[in-house]
Amino acid sequence: MDQRHREILRRHRTSLVTTLDTANICDGLLSKGVFTQDMIDEIQNKETRRDRARALLVDLETRGSMAFRCFLECLRETEYHDQAGLLESGDGAHPPMPVPVQPSLIPLPVQRPNYTEYPDRSVVIPPRVVPPRPGTLPVPKPISPPSETKQEDQKPTRNRRDSIQTYKMDANPCGICLIINNVDFEPDSSLKDRTGSNIDCDKMERRFKALNFKVDVKRNLKCKYIKRDMSTLSKEDHSLYDCCVVIILSHGTEANHNRFPGAVHGVDGKAISIQIITNYLNGHNCPSLQGKPKLFFIQACGGGERDTGFEVSPDEAQPSMGGEDDQTDAIPMSSSSDSLSTSDEIDARATLPTPSDMLVSYSTFPGYVSWRDTEAGSWYIENLDRVLQQNADTDDLVTMLMMVNDAVSQISAKGLYKQMPGSFNFLRKLLYFQTPRS
């Protein structure tokens, strides 16, 4: 937050602490991505209303350049118009904050080099130089325009070797990989133990260590501890890393959402939505991961429906049978949102920032069950591990996930039921993992 905005908040802190009820304002700050759910829980746990208001103002100063304006919007939305006007004007000490005006842009003449430009491409391709025939004088190489040479000489060096095409992925280690493996569920949760999940966990731990990630495995977490560990991950300093990975192996269900569907269960049976999990690592809540890829791999059911597929010709598919002990990671449910705890209800009405540089890969299509072999592990993780092992040297992540989709789609549970993985991709560039041969 700008120092000027901090001074305005401190100048009027007494008035704000005296008048504010933080409940509605906290909801607004959560929906705008300024506060995390854990921060709001800490604020609401304060004993008195004044303490809650004071804690909110203290935390607000740490939440970045847009926090002040978002706070003003929340004040107006909750009918604290006098307080909003007081802060905006600085109580006469400063003039009202000007509304930014888009400057007029005057195009400058561009000296076009002697290149061929294709209208349906964004790439400018130099003309092909034909080598001289034997016995003829050599053709001189084309000289770059002086302006281009000068611009190249003045280009600053950067520590991060990003390009428009690919993410930088050469840090050592590349990043943190958090694995949450829920196997043994409490009797009161009405959820079965997930036999075979330890096999999935071991595969992912070995695979991402081989991809040069620092792997942290958490087992049998209640819902509140999933939130705690995601909050801890968001507060890490990722400035020396290039990527962050979260893998969740648990029971799952449907959930209302604005961005990412589905929810996963803690071993206590309570659920947290995928949207809230991803929100911990967005640009507002984890600044040191801004512009860097954040990858989520979810082995959990997306709902309770079982897909029997549709019949195709033998040329279209190469079906394979699943194991005899295939189980699902779903639970019975009466509606798409009944299984969510009350702490997740804000997810149904919150409008969250666009999750740039995120990819969420699901083991199954939203609404459908995900199959797991009690002896070999889940179909999705087994094939994800295999594809990463065989193809990470040469293929980007999105291409490899399509390979996983195809492989899992060929499997049948009990000779009847199918499964279709998929992903929500908000990456801006191609992503190639580090490998021992890279």
Same fold for the domain at 3-91 and the one at 175-425? no
Maximum mean pLDDT: which of 207-211, 248-252, 417-421? 207-211
Residues 296-333 as b/e (b if ≥16 CB within 10 A, e otherwise) read bbbbbbbbbebbeeeeeeeeeeeeeebbeebbbbbbee
Q: Residue 112: which pLDDT band, with cuts at 50, 70 and 90?
A: very low
Q: Where are the domains of the chain?
A: 3-91, 175-425
- Active-site residues, by number, are 251, 301
Question: Sorting pLDDT into bands at 50, 70 and 90, what band is 364?
Answer: confident
Comparing C-alpha atoms, which of 288, 285, 267, 268 is closest to residue 276?
Answer: 285
Calculate the average pLDDT of the chain. 75
Q: Cα(362)–Cα(347) distance, rounded to whole angstroms?
A: 19
- 277 Cβ partners below 8 Å, 6+ apart? 226, 230, 246, 248, 264, 296
DSSP E strand boundaries for 43-190: 116-117, 124-125, 175-181
Record: fold of 175-425 = Rossmann fold (3.40.50)
pLDDT band at 137 (very low <50, low <70, confident <90, very high): low
Phi, psi (degrees; rounded to nearest 5) at 34: -80, -45
Q: Which CATH architecture has domain 3-91?
A: Orthogonal Bundle (1.10)
| Position 90 confidence tier, pLDDT thresholds 50, 70, 90 | low
Q: What is the pTM for the complete model shown?
A: 0.55
Most confident of 33-37, 120-124, 143-147: 33-37
Task: Provide mean pLDDT across the span 344-372.
Answer: 62
User: How far apart are alpha carbons 272 and 181 in whole angstroms?
Assistant: 15
Q: What is the pLDDT of residues 287-324, one digit of tens each?
A: 999 999 999 999 987 444 444 444 444 454 455 555 54
End-to-end Cα distance, the chain? 41
- Reported as a pLDDT band with limits 50, 70 and 90, residue 165 is confident
Confidence of residue 215 (pLDDT cuts 50, 70, 90): very high
Question: Residue 114: is its pLDDT beyond 70?
Answer: no
Please write the tens of the pLDDT for every residue from 18-77.
888 887 788 888 888 888 887 888 888 887 888 888 888 888 888 888 888 888 888 888
The percent of residues in the chain predicted with pLDDT above 90, rounded, is: 35
